[in-house]
Amino acid sequence: MNFQRIEHNSAQYQQSLQLRHNVLRKPLKLDLFTEDLSQETDYLHFALINEQQVVACLIIVVSGTQARLKQMAVSPDDQGQGLGRKLIEQVEQYLSRLGMSTITLAARTNAIGFYHQLNYVAHGEPFIEVSISHQMMSKNIEKIVAMRDRIKI
């Protein structure tokens, strides 16, 4: 399983679009491919790749030292194996090395527990996005690289 930053419009990007559609939009009877994806050229795209197949992916939108995690998806066949945790931990390290200080995200209500386990903190009131309830969450990542490097020594 390889962690990789993927390029916009690459074969892996196309696979990530299909995965995001199948996992995040299709169950809600929505179509990712009818959404305006033009801004995605400015986003960072990350994936876990197994045998040239994207099995988990997410998007990062950068603004200064803040990062916004969006549209994380794990292939249904690969869920429950810790891939979501692995992907987020790798992205946190990557972003911390870039000098990012905070990651924010809008967690679906059924995923709040998952993000709590990764030390994300809920903020504000729940809200509706893409027809379902979400909760804003965030995590300070400034010291992640330093702490993990110190542990490895």
| pLDDT band per the 50, 70, 90 thresholds, residue 142 | confident
Q: What's the domain count of the chain?
A: 1
**Per the confidence metrics, is the pTM higher than 0.95?**
no
16: number of Cβ within 10 Å: 24
Q: Is the dihedral of CA 111, 132, 19, 137 positive or negative?
A: negative
Residue 55 structural domain: 2-152
Q: Are the C-beta atoms of residues 114 and 84 closer than 8 Å to each other?
A: yes
| pLDDT band per the 50, 70, 90 thresholds, residue 127 | very high
Query: Is pLDDT above 50 for 111?
Result: yes
Average pLDDT of the chain is 93
| pLDDT band per the 50, 70, 90 thresholds, residue 97 | very high
Closest C-alpha among 80, 23, 72 to residue 48: 72
CATH number where 58 lies: 3.40.630.30
